[in-house]
Each structure stands twice: as C-alpha cells, then as structure tokens.
Structure 1
Amino acid sequence: MSLLDVFLGTLEVTLPVFAMVFIGIALKRSGWIDTHFVNTASNLVFKGTMPVLIFLSLIKADIDTAFNPFLLGFFALATLATFLLSWAWAIWRVPHTDRGVYVQGAFRGNCGIVGLALAASMYGEYGLSAGGLLLGVVILSYNILSVVVLSAYRPGRSANWRSIAKHIARNPLILAVVTALPFTILEIGLPQWLMTSGEYFASLTLPLALICIGATLSIGALRESHDTAMGSSFMKMVTLPLLATGAAWLAGFSGRELGLLFLYFASPTAAASFVMVKAMGGNAKLAANIIAITTLLASLTVTLGVFVLRVMNLI
C-alpha cells in the first residue's frame, strides 16, 4: 500500500468527524441554528442519545474482546501522568492564577464526543464498545483531577466533594455503562423493535454533538489567544499525545488498542472544562480559547497522528 493510499484511508476516518464540526461553525454563522438550539441539542445528547448509544454498543459487544482491564488501567495511569506533567510545567512557565485552567486544558480531552466518534469511525462496533467502557475511566479521572487542580489555585473557594461525588455518580454516561454491563455479561437480549428504535435514537448522537461543538467555537479565539492558551493547546494536541502514545507502545499495546488510546489521548480539550472553570471562578475566557484552539487544531494533528501510526504499521 502506497503512502497516498494510507493518507486517503486516514482522511476517510478523520474527515467525516471534523467535517461535522465545521458544518456546525457554518450553520451558526449563517444563522440556521442559534444558542438556544445548541443548548437544547447538547442537553439531549448528554442526557439521552449518547447514553443510549453507549448502552446499545455495549450490549451488542463481545465483552471478552471489549473489556480489557490492562487497557483501562493504563489509560488511568497515563491520565494521571499527563496531569502531573502538565502541572509541573505550569508551575515553571504559567502565571499562578492561570495554572489550574492551563492544566485542565492540557490534560482533559473531549473523549466522550470527539474521541468516541473517531473510535467509531475507525473501528466500528469495537470502537463504540471498548470506547464506551473507557469512558467510565475518563469521566471519573477527568472530573476528580480537574477539581483538584482548579481548587489548588482558588484559595478563597473550597471544593464540595460530596456534591462532586454525587454529580459523578449521576452522570448519564456512567449510568449507561453500569446499566449495560449485566445485559452484556448475562447475554440478555432486547426485543428487535426496541433495538431498532434505540438505534434510530442513538444515531442522532455523533452528528448532533459534533455540530454543537462547531456552533460553540469562536474563530476569533485564534486571534485573541495569548501565550498561555497556545501553550496549553500545544501541550494537549502535540506533547502529551506523543508521550502517552509512545508509552502505550512501549507497554505492549498495538493494533486497534493502540489506535483507540491514541484517539482518546489526542482528543481536543473537553467543552466541560469551560463549565467547571466558570463554576469555580477561574479564567473562563482562557478556558474557552483553549477549547476553540484545540478543536480547530485537532483536524490536523489527529489526521497526521493516525497517518504516521499507519505508515509505521502500529495500528
């Protein structure tokens, strides 16, 4: 297979995902959708269509193939390592008041939407099922570590850990994973009409979520951003994915497992990071700029990363 064939194959994976993001930008700028639509649609995705998508992908999955404790454990450790590395760098290079926002922007990826969409595009049902299980680790680790670092630089505000634990326990994505596991393990089937209806509903998830991401982006963020935003974005999209994926390869991962880990490591900064920064009184504009920059850069960095890994015959 020539390099051109590999590159075109890579574009077939990444372009459909990022094209939907740019469609969202165009729809918002043209006035076809507005902020009210984005808020409503995002709520529908988070509370409805995405949990159904994860639930169906898991009950249809081969649990022996999708469930990999080593992969889950490695991702948790790699997340902790990237978190500590970005924090150490921030202590050295970032102004004190912006360190928490910088660190969260650098390590917290949008795995629930962009990462899962890329995994589904590249690996189909395996990407959805294994990626869905991985989301449990993602949600727990990202939320806990984000609160830790944001609290560390907001001395006048204390974190309400009971509220945070309750929020995580009630997260619809975690509930979807927990609910699906008995069905998967015990091989309990659902009526075909219910499966078909659920698949119709779940099929709204990825295009709608990606359009909403595009609609919330501001191209002006690239012009308005300063060194802190660009530094966090470069850390998120280049440095940490390179280090974490290299560590995964050295740990023995290859093929679709390595590919799945790369897609999750290389996902742009999660939109939820803005919500958490704003709620904790941090620099919300900086958080928004990091989200915008990393999401726009992802179309280039993820495509290049998948291409290089395929050329090296690692995935």
Structure 2
Amino acid sequence: MPVFERLMALLGLLMVGTGLRVTGVLDDNRAAQLNTLTYYVALPALIFISTYQRSISALLSPALLEGLVLVVVVTVGLAWLIHRNAATQYRSVALVQSYHSNLGYLGLPLVAATFEPRVTAIASVILGVVSLIQVPLTVLILTTMSGTDTRFLNELQRLITNPVLVSLLVGLAVGSTGLAVPSVVASGLDAIGTLALPLALLCVGSSLKVDLSAVDLSATGWVVALKNGCMPALAWGVFSLLTVNPATFTASVVMFGTPTAVSTFVYANELGGDEQFASLNVFITTLISTGTLFVLIRLVS
C-alpha cells in the first residue's frame, strides 16, 4: 500500500476509535479491555517476532545509543528554554509533551507496516531504550514542578516490569543465544503482531478528547513545533553526523517523528498536571503527525 494511503488509513482508524467512544460503543470498560489486549498481547508479540532472530550486538550499536540520548536531551533542553515562561498551569505538561513520543502505539506498529523487518527490529530497540529515558524523566518533571507527592519508585517498577520491555529483552536474549523458536509459535506470534497497529490506533483514537475553549495557542503551538518538527529534524541531523546504517537512520527518524504519547495525558492526570491541556496537545500533535510522518517516510524511503 502506498505511503499516503497507509497514513490515510491510519487517520481513518483514529477517527473510528474516536467515533466509537463518542457513540458509547467503546465505553471506559471496553476501551480498557482493548488497551489491555494491545499492550499485553499484540505489541509484545510484534516486538518479540521482530527481534528473536537477531542478536543485540546487531541492533544496538554505540552510535544508536549515543544518538538516542542526544536527541532526547537536546529536545528537553530546548523545551525547557521555550516553556520556562509559559503559564504555571501549563509549564510542566508543555515541557514533557514536547519530547515524550508515542513510540509504542504509533511508532513501532507504523514502522512494522511500512519498512523491512530489520528496520522494525531496530525500532523495537529504540522503543525500549527511549522508554527507559523518557518515562522516568516525565514522572520526575511532573512531580517536581507540580509538587505532587507520588510513588516515584513504584512508577519506575511499573516501567521495568512492563510487557513491552520484557518482550524486547526476551526477544534479544533468544536472538543472541540462538535458541530455536518452533515455526508454529513464530507464525502465531506474527499473526498476533499484525494486529498491533489497528488495535493501537483504535486505542489512541478512543482516548483523544479536545476542548477547544481551553486552547492556549502559544503553548500548544510550541509543543507542536518541538514534537512534530524539531525532534525529527534533530534526529535527522544527529544520525546523519553519526553515519549509522540506513536501517538505523530510518527507524530513528520515523520513531522520533511520532506525536506526543497518549500516556502523557495519563501522567498529567495522575501527577498534578493540567489534563485538559495535555489532552488537547495529544490530539493536535497526533492529527498533524499524519502529514509530517508522510513527509518523513517519503524522505527516508
């Protein structure tokens, strides 16, 4: 399927998810069940099947690790400078939503549906490495700037034991040790993994809520500029200078080109941030990403 048609299908599934929520088909209970199926079954299957035949040394190079850390750190620094004068109620959310990417529910499934298996395998590693950076950083920023008394260590424990990271570690362990996986198991996991993108898009769509009366054009505009524009451009520049292989370059640029993660709304709601503002930014960056991702995918292809 051509890139434009694939992204239009992506946007269509997002809108279907939103429509199902508005009409009550995806109520809170059903949405939670769909999210559980995606997070605990489909995404781990996709990650395992993309990594179990490859060793960690073939996927995680020093240049990749250096580039991932550099892109995140520089984006956080820019966001801090830009949002330091934002209204108090928006500042912490605007900061974290400028760098916290939707790597799991949009990035990895989109890469898997668009590029060859090696690119998907590297994207799985990027998901794991960047999650270990951006999730603790987001929790730390929100709790510090909002003054919320929260269970920071519990949040870290949830991160370390989440099924996405566990499936990545298991896949890399199998690939690095050369353990054989029965073909019937591999075929079954591959079939389940193909459900990751449509299920994830329905989950994201069902979570998108927007209150236009709450729009702060300046704060939201800077979030969009940093997340949809600056971060993938920075990734392009960094990984060009690091002279990584084409698969690593492609996976890195596309993954960093994803919109703000839906989980930032959850964190804002739990950790004292402005949840209306957070929801708006997720909606706007996701909508705009259908266009920016089209451009990025065409360029890297």
Give the distance between the partners of 2:154 and 2:56, measured in 1 at CA: 32
What does the per-residue CA deviation read over 1:68-127, in whole Å, with 9 as the maximum and x for residues that have no partner?
332133112211211121112111x31233211001111001011211122112323123
Q: Is 1:226 matched up with 2:216? A: yes
| Matched residues, number | 300
- Normalising by structure 1, we get a TM-score of 0.86
Give the 5 Å matches for 1:104-253: 104-155=96-147, 157-218=148-209, 220-221=210-211, 224-227=214-217, 228-253=219-244
Match of 1:83 in 2: 76
Shift of 1:63: 5.1
Give the distance between the partners of 1:185 and 1:27, measured in 2 at CA: 42
Q: Is 1:36 matched up with 2:26? A: no
Pick the aligned partner of 2:251 from 245, 251, 260.
260
Distance 1:31 1:96, change over 3 A: closer
Instruction: Verify the 8 A CA contact 1:241 1:262 in the aligned structure 2.
Output: yes
Is the partner of 2:178 in helix, strand or coil? coil
What does the per-residue CA deviation read over 1:4-27, in whole Å, with 9 as the maximum and x for residues that have no partner?
xxxx95425534433322332344
Unaligned runs of 5+ in 2: none
Match of 1:287 in 2: 278
Pick the aligned partner of 1:98 from 90, 99, 114.
90
Give the distance between the partners of 1:248 and 1:99, measured in 2 at CA: 30
Instruction: Verify the 8 A CA contact 1:230 1:290 in the aligned structure 2.
Output: no
Task: Give % identity.
Answer: 23
Give the distance between the partners of 1:304 and 1:221, measured in 2 at CA: 28
Shift of 1:29: 4.3
Give the distance between the partners of 1:29 and 1:163, measured in 2 at CA: 33
Give the distance between the partners of 1:302 and 1:247, measured in 2 at CA: 18
Shift of 1:30: 5.0
Give the distance between the partners of 2:27 and 2:89, measured in 1 at CA: 33
Pick the aligned partner of 1:56 from 42, 49, 52.
49
What does the per-residue CA deviation read over 1:182-226, in whole Å, with 9 as the maximum and x for residues that have no partner?
2111111122222222223333222111112112223x4456422
Distance 1:97 1:89, change over 3 A: same
Shift of 1:64: 5.4
Shift of 1:130: 1.1
Give the distance between the partners of 2:52 and 2:281, measured in 1 at CA: 36
Give the distance between the partners of 1:233 and 1:182, measured in 2 at CA: 37
Match of 1:296 in 2: 287
Unaligned runs of 5+ in 1: 1-7
The alignment yields a C-alpha RMSD, in angstroms, of 2.3
Amino acid at match of 2:90: D
Give the distance between the partners of 2:249 and 2:190, measured in 1 at CA: 28
Give the distance between the partners of 1:194 and 1:175, measured in 2 at CA: 18
Instruction: Verify the 8 A CA contact 1:245 1:265 in the aligned structure 2.
Output: no
Amino acid at match of 1:304: V
What does the per-residue CA deviation read over 1:221-256, in whole Å, with 9 as the maximum and x for residues that have no partner?
456422222321232111232233223223324633
Give the distance between the partners of 1:77 and 1:64, measured in 2 at CA: 20
Give the distance between the partners of 1:69 and 1:55, measured in 2 at CA: 22
Distance 1:159 1:110, change over 3 A: same
Pick the aligned partner of 2:267 from 261, 268, 276.
276
Distance 1:17 1:61, change over 3 A: farther
- 233-242 or 99-108, larger mean C-alpha shift: 233-242
Instruction: Verify the 8 A CA contact 2:63 2:242 in the aligned structure 1.
Output: no
- Normalising by structure 2, we get a TM-score of 0.90
Shift of 1:299: 0.6
Instruction: Verify the 8 A CA contact 2:119 2:248 in the aligned structure 1.
Output: no
Instruction: Verify the 8 A CA contact 1:57 1:129 in the aligned structure 2.
Output: yes
Amino acid at match of 2:288: L
Give the distance between the partners of 1:79 and 1:294, measured in 2 at CA: 17
Is the partner of 2:191 in helix, strand or coil? helix
